Amino acid sequence: MKLVVQRVTSAAVSVDGVEISRISKGLLVLFGAEKEDRDEFADFLAEKTVGLRIFNDADGKMNLSCKDVGGEILAVSQFTLAGDCAKGRRPGFDRAASPEVAIKLYQRFMDAIAAAGTIVRQGRFGAHMAVSIENDGPVTFILEKR
C-alpha cells in the first residue's frame, strides 16, 4: 500500500465538472492498493497519516499532526501508485490490487481515519477525477506499508 500525503491549505475533487469533495486546511492523500495488501496495512497507514507531525507549531517547527490542528483529510484513490516504470516506457500495473480488493481497503482506510476523530472526505473510486490542491509548503511525503 502506498500513499502520497500532501499538506494543503485547500483541496477539492471534481468528477465530470462537478465538485464532489472539498477540504480546507489538512491533508490530501492519494491512496494506492497493491495485491499483497491487507486490512492491517490500511489501519496502520490511517493511524500514521492522522498522527503524522507535519504541521508547524508556534515556533515554526513541524511538530503538530492534522488532528492537532483540526485539519481534514481528502482521500483519493490512485491505482497508478502501484505502477511499475522500471522497464520500458509504459507502466505496468501487475502489482495493483483488483478493484474489488482496492475499494475495500480504501474504505477501510477512510473508516479508520474517521474512527480516529478526523474528518475525512473522499474522491469517487474508479472515476476520472480532477484534483485541485493548494499545497502548503510544499510539504509532500510518501508512506508505504508492505
Instruction: From the candidates 31, 41, 79, 109, give the one annotated as an active-site residue.
Output: 79
Instruction: From the candidates 6, 49, 78, 122, give the one annotated as an active-site residue.
Output: 78
Average pLDDT over residues 3-7: 98
Whether 79 and 93 have beta carbons less than 8 Å apart is answered as: yes
Question: Catalytic site residue 107?
Answer: no
What confidence score (pLDDT) does residue 146 get? 85
Class (C level, CATH) for 2-144:
alpha beta
| pLDDT interval class at 144 (50, 70, 90) | very high
Whether 50 and 3 have beta carbons less than 8 Å apart is answered as: no
Digit-coded pLDDT (tens) for 76-92 = 999 999 999 999 999 99
Percentage, residues of the chain above pLDDT 90: 99
Question: Catalytic site residue 78?
Answer: yes
Whether 123 and 76 have beta carbons less than 8 Å apart is answered as: yes
Where are the chain's structural domains? 2-144
Question: Catalytic site residue 80?
Answer: yes
Digit-coded pLDDT (tens) for 16-45 = 999 999 999 999 999 999 999 999 999 999
